[in-house]
């Protein structure tokens, strides 16, 4: 889906960041807020931003002080999975 927004040029210039890629800046900001609010999953952020790996997604989220939701049940599930592979 394509979305078009109208911004005053001075605002667009500021938001475009150092590389001048306003579209990417808006896309990343949307991904960050969507993940922060629990509206987007890590997989959705990955697809949205075109990352090839979960590691890239994790690094991106960490760079915005967002960390994977990981609780005791996740650890137990991974432990069972790892043990079953032995």
Residue 81 has pLDDT above 70, yes or no: yes
Which pLDDT score, from 0 to 100, does residue 63 have? 97
pLDDT digit string (tens) for 33-80?
Answer: 999 999 999 999 999 999 999 899 999 999 999 987 666 776 777 788
pLDDT digit string (tens) for 5-20?
Answer: 999 999 998 888 778 8
Which pLDDT score, from 0 to 100, does residue 79 have? 81
Number of domains in the chain: 1
Which residue range forms the structural domain that includes residue 73? Answer: 9-84
The string over 56-76, giving b where at least 16 C-beta atoms fall within 10 Å of a residue's C-beta and e elsewhere, is: ebbebbeeeebeeeeeeeeee
């Amino acid at each position: 889906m394509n979305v078009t927004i109208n911004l005053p040029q001075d605002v667009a210039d500021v938001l475009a960041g150092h590389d001048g890629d306003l579209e990417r800046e808006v896309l990343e900001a949307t991904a960050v807020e969507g993940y922060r609010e629990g509206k987007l999953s890590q997989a959705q952020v990955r697809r949205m931003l075109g990352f090839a790996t979960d590691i890239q997604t994790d690094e991106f989220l960490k760079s915005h002080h967002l960390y994977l939701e990981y609780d005791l049940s996740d650890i137990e599930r991974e432990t069972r999975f790892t043990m079953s592979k032995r």
